[in-house]
Structure 1
Amino acid sequence: MNRVETALLNSAPRRWVQRFYETEALLRCGGRLAPGSLALEIGCGSGYGVQLIFDRFGAGSVDAVDLDPAMINRARRRLARYGDRVVLAEGSATDLGDALCAAEDSYDAVFDFGIIHHIPNWRDAVSELTRVLTPGGRFYFEEVTAHALARPTYQRFLEHPTEDRFTAEHFLAELDRHGLALLGSTTRIQGDFLLGVAAKPCPANGGT
């Protein structure tokens, strides 16, 4: 992520969109979390997403990872008021076991606020977040598609992987391949952005 995109992601307009549009769309699809839920955010940046996961989605505690140690430090300052309800770690969404010692079936929810399209081996990230979700756990996602990344403004000012970019259809197919079932309908914005919630199936003898 270059300096232009880092500045955009930490800007007041971006926070406004994330809080008043994206969060509301995700809540309509997946609802709030059960009291005491443990959530994970991948690519937490300066910590604003974690704050929303607490305040709007109702998580009991949140673990979060980011590759950039400077962002982890910013998030630590922003989230100090939550005390030990927050665990922040430097690491990759493709290896949560290394970053957070995350075992299989660890998290009641995983949040992706526009991070997976930055990951070259994005399918590995989907596999890993599926691994750490509890049965019945929800994956809340907001993603940028290949359609958007092909636009001249994205290509000129922002840096993204140039290979294996996904369309909305590719992304949803990958979720389905891992058994993640959509809850309600997804929101698509001009083919550029995709928002929705998917759930990991429960064992057959555990009900649905």
Structure 2
Amino acid sequence: MNNPIRKWLQKNIEFKTFKEFLDKNNLSLEGKVVLDAGCGSGYSTKLIQEFSPAELIGFDIMPSQIEKAKQAYPELNFFVGSVLETHLDSDKFDAVFVFGILHHIPQWKDAITELYRVLKSGGVLLVEDLNKDASHFFATYFKLDHPPEAYFTWDEFTNHLEETGFDILEQKRIISKGVGSFLCLKN
């Protein structure tokens, strides 16, 4: 997540969409406990800080990215960890943000289950990701690491969110029908 184009998209499209979702549903993250899952170099975590949470934690599986995050944003809290097993307390977070990492994870369903576990009842999951068609396109034409075993359709994705126990409050296809954003509430 060190690409200037990716940062621009994240700030001006993805984050803006999440902000609109929260505003439309009268949800404030001020004074809340918030997690940024798969934060990369910390840019997304810095954006989330705009919501004035009481506690904000970011993690990524890549130690080199967490090192960059700690150097760039020493005031924020980062750790190396996996979205499949965060080792965080259950029912801890009021909100979890996920900016485009699930299409890299063959066990993406397990990741959603883990994020559900760490959210408080009534907490929100804000997730942006690529579906099967977009993942295939970027893997084929841009040689990006999008493993085919991690591909999902929007029907598969939304069905799993609901089966896990999330209510989908908002969803929007952004950039193309292959990129989607979701606001989900933990029952």
Provide TM-score, normalisation by structure 2. 0.91
Cα deviation, residue 191, structure 1: 2.4
Counterpart residue number, 1:205: none
Tell me which of 29, 35, 41 is aligned to 1:40. 35
SS at match of 1:172: helix
Cα deviation, residue 193, structure 1: 0.4
Residues 155-187 of structure 1 deviation map (CA, whole Å, 9 limit, x = unaligned): 241112222511112111111011111123433
- The structure 1 segments of at least 4 consecutive aligned residues displaced by more than 4 Å after TM superposition are none
Cα deviation, residue 188, structure 1: 4.5
Separation in 2, partners of 1:115, 1:150: 15
Cα deviation, residue 21, structure 1: 1.2
* Equivalent pair of 2:171/2:180 in contact (CA under 8 Å): no
SS at match of 1:21: helix
* Equivalent pair of 2:31/2:53 in contact (CA under 8 Å): yes
SS at match of 1:176: helix
Separation in 2, partners of 1:92, 1:185: 25
Residues 114-150 of structure 1 deviation map (CA, whole Å, 9 limit, x = unaligned): 0111111111100000000011111011101101122
Separation in 2, partners of 1:75, 1:188: 27
Cα deviation, residue 68, structure 1: 0.9
Counterpart residue number, 2:66: 72
Counterpart residue number, 1:158: 144
**Runs (5+) with no aligned partner, structure 2:** none
* Equivalent pair of 1:36/1:61 in contact (CA under 8 Å): yes
Tell me which of 149, 154, 174 is aligned to 1:168. 154
| 1:116 equivalenced with 2:102 (yes/no) | yes
SS at match of 1:104: coil
Tell me which of 165, 174, 177 is aligned to 1:191. 177
Q: How high is the sequence identity, in percent, across the aligned residues?
A: 32
Cα 1:189–1:173 shift into 2, 3 Å? farther
CA RMSD of aligned residues (A): 1.6
Counterpart residue number, 1:17: 9
Counterpart residue number, 1:27: 19
Cα deviation, residue 33, structure 1: 3.2
Provide TM-score, normalisation by structure 1. 0.82
Cα 1:30–1:183 shift into 2, 3 Å? farther
Separation in 2, partners of 1:140, 1:164: 19
Aligned residue-pair number: 183
Structure of higher CA gyration radius: 1
Separation in 1, partners of 2:170, 2:132: 23
**Runs (5+) with no aligned partner, structure 1:** 1-8, 202-208
Separation in 2, partners of 1:161, 1:179: 26
Separation in 2, partners of 1:18, 1:185: 17
Separation in 1, partners of 2:150, 2:3: 29
Residues 62-119 of structure 1 deviation map (CA, whole Å, 9 limit, x = unaligned): 1121111110010001111x2xxx321111001011xxxx111010111100011111
**Larger strand percent:** 2
